[in-house]
Amino acid sequence: MAGLRSWSGLLAGATLLVIAVGAASVPNFLTPFSLATAMATLGPAALMAFPVALLVITRDIDISVASTAALTAACSGLVFAAQGPTPVAVAVALAVGAVCGAVNGFFVAVLELPALLVTLGTLALFRGLCYVILGSTPISPIPDFYAALGNNTVGLTILPWALVPAIVAALVAGVVLRGLPTGRRVLATGGNPATARYSGVRTRRLRFGLFVASGLAAAVAGMIQAGLTSQVSPDLALGMELDVITMVFLGGVSVLGGKGSIPAVVWAAALLMFIRKFLQLNNVSGYAQGIVIGVVLIGSLVVTNAASALVERRRRSAVSAESTPATTS
């Protein structure tokens, strides 16, 4: 836990450094409009990152979240394209998201198939279904609710509604992980699944529920992204899984499971947001931004892996020193 707090501090320092460099070198970097658009753009990916973080802590992963978001938006788009009421469209999106999460959960938690391979397959499957459902023609216009969710701010503040679900998800995930018995079960499942099962933890049900939660979060993210783009298209949120995974691993969540901090993931999301805003205002293309994010992801994995190895060596050295009998002359 001390290591995770230190990592949060490093991320906070890196975020402040990027803010300082951006404010000094880029015009309009910290204007209210710039911050509001940056937070709104961050919202969908950040929302999906928190349930994925919990999944990674349990030694699972969901890389199909962006495709799930697109599929839920596509299905709800069919509803309002047929002049259906907005509440029905929202209900359809949430139902499809839950089903997508349940599909992943069934294959991973029930059939015990590797989560990486399963969600890689559903990433392609769900995205393909988007093209089957929508073809090459986006659905537009979208309901006012979607547009407001993607573009409006809370009252007179600069806080966009697009970020509010992510804030709620961060609070819920943080309370669950550190304040509730469910969080202890999540950590125990990731730390040692066999021991967790022998201790009475229903690991399959827990993991299945986390996949469903991931699908529901993706459904809300799909609505937000549709509001941001003012349309529902088959390539909605394409590539956003890279941002989601980067936030999780940059936030210090262990690839091997059993360790993670929601505040650190929050700082990772903030750092990623300011990096992207800095690149955008410097007219860096989306492809080049993807390269930078990929480098950040690999770098975070290298640093956290090296830090874990260093801590483990120090622990073994301390244990060896304690077990070695003292010699007397």
Q: Does residue 209 register a pLDDT over 80?
A: yes
Please check the confidence at residue 316 and state whether its pLDDT lies above 90: no
Tens of pLDDT along 41-58?
A: 999 999 999 999 999 999
User: What's the rounded mean pLDDT across residues 62-79?
Assistant: 96
Q: How far apart are CA 79 and CA 176, in angstroms?
A: 34
pLDDT at 324 over 70: no
Where residue 311 falls among pLDDT bands split at 50, 70, 90?
low
For helices 203-229 and 65-81, give the axis angle rounded to 10 degrees. Answer: 60
What pLDDT does residue 325 have? 58
Report the share of the chain in percent with pLDDT over 90.
Answer: 71
Would you state the pLDDT for residue 328? 47
Q: What is the residue whose two structure tokens read 């509010």?
A: 164
Residue 317 in contact with residue 271, Cβ under 8 Å? no
CA angle 234, 69, 292 (to 5 degrees): 85
What per-residue confidence (pLDDT) applies to 137? 84
- pLDDT > 60? residue 327: no
pLDDT for position 4 = 52
Return the H-helix or E-strand segment holding 329: none
18 vs 15, 24, 30, 280, CA distance in Å?
5, 10, 12, 13
